[in-house]
Amino acid sequence: MLLVAVLAFAVLRPKGLPEAVMAVPAAGLVIVAGAISPAHALDEIQRLGPVVGFLAAVLVLAHLCDVEGLFQACGAWMARRAAGSPGRLLGAVFLLASVITAVLSLDATVVLLTPVVFATAARAGVRAKPHLYACAHLSNTASLLLPVSNLTNLLAFETSGLSFTRFAALMTLPWVVAIGAEYLIFRRFFADELSVSERAPEPGEEPELPLFALITVGCTLAGFVVTSAAGIEPAWAAFAGALVLAVRALVRRRETPLAVVRASAPAFLAFVLALGVVVRAVVDNGLADALDHVLPKGSGLLALLGIAVLAAVLANLINNLPAVLVLLPLTAAAGPGAVLAVLLGVNIGPNLTYAGSLATLLWRRIVHRHDEDVDLGEFTRLGLLAVPASLLSAVAALWLSLQVVGS
């Protein structure tokens, strides 16, 4: 009941209150009630600590890239690439959203790129809906590639025992084929909207390319590889990249220390830690045993498919973050293949419903603030086409990667 209450509060966010307002007291209640011991709760918080620190650094890095003008430059590039063509703009959005999600996390795509896509569609004189839906879907699907792309990835990365480069090598093919499947579905589903332009494109100013931000992000990615190979937590590389951009922004008075701290979303970080405690209590009191009876065993193609489908269903029932927290301990013994199959399910599956991931819920709020109509039925119909196509092709690609690259 507490888990349901926490998730419902996170979905509805009454009066705009942070998710932690419900999650932190709920975590305290499960400890007081004896559903989980204080020592076990502390162990869970310590396990999630490095992951949460990593997330904070990446959120700050993405925010400071926006301060540097990276996303405005992306909007200008998309407008030039589209030249008034809705189809070309969709291709540009798919490309940029995929790269931004993979490198700067899905939050950057939802929070920072979505408003830019609104402005770019208006400037290009095309309907915004297909391109906005692309941001929502790709914030989930395109987050498969790197450990830094999603909080679920960070959790899976810690469990899998893989290095940063091996994780990326195994997920590259699933990432490509899942995005390709999404693109084909989008072209078909939005054929009418992509066939017409509402008016001629408007000229606009061309912002300078933020080379310093791009170089910093590139060095940070290289740092992830180096730290992983050296056995050092990759969070330190993310922290270094965020620190470089933060010092630059503060010195140039483009940002304040308080704004940098806020960019790390401390309330959301507290929510993640508290949610981890509540989920661990649920797992320890029966859910783990129930799922263990239905979870496929092994790392063959059919087993991977079964694991991914179960993860996708669970993500839509209880949200993808609790789903991954529940499933990872049950699949860890089966090896990296099973862990990555869980990741496919919890990252692609949420495109089926609004409640599947917190990123989709946040995207919906941003879209509503721009007075764009988002229909639940249409979102679900698109998901019913895109999720099976993306998930099945990604699982097959993962199995092939495991055969070629090895686990």
Q: Give yes or no for a contact between 396 and 301, defined as CB atoms under 8 angstroms apart.
A: yes
Identify the pLDDT of residue 205. Answer: 66
Positions of the chain with pLDDT lower than 50, given as ranges? none
- Specify the pLDDT at position 198: 61
Backbone region of residue 16 per phi and psi (left: phi > 0; alpha: psi in -120 to 50; beta: other values)? left
Domain boundaries, the chain: 46-405
CA angle 229/231/236 to nearest 5° reads 95
pLDDT at 305: 96
In terms of C-beta density within 10 A (0-12 exposed, 13-18 middle, 19 or more buried), how is residue 81 classed? middle
Gyration radius from the chain CA atoms: 21
Q: Please tell me the predicted confidence (pLDDT) of residue 295.
A: 87
CB 69 within 8 A of CB 210: yes
- For residue 125, the model assigns a pLDDT of 80
Residues 168 and 225 sit within 8 Å (Cβ to Cβ)? no
Provide the whole-model pTM. Answer: 0.84
How would you label 236-267 residue by residue, b for 16+ Cβ within 10 Å and e otherwise? bbbbbbbbbbbebbeeeeebeeebbeebbbee
Q: What is the pLDDT of residues 137-170, one digit of tens each?
A: 999 999 999 998 888 998 899 899 898 899 999 9
For residues 386 and 384, give the distance between their C-alpha atoms in angstroms, rounded to a whole number: 6
Q: According to the model, what pLDDT value does residue 201 have? A: 59
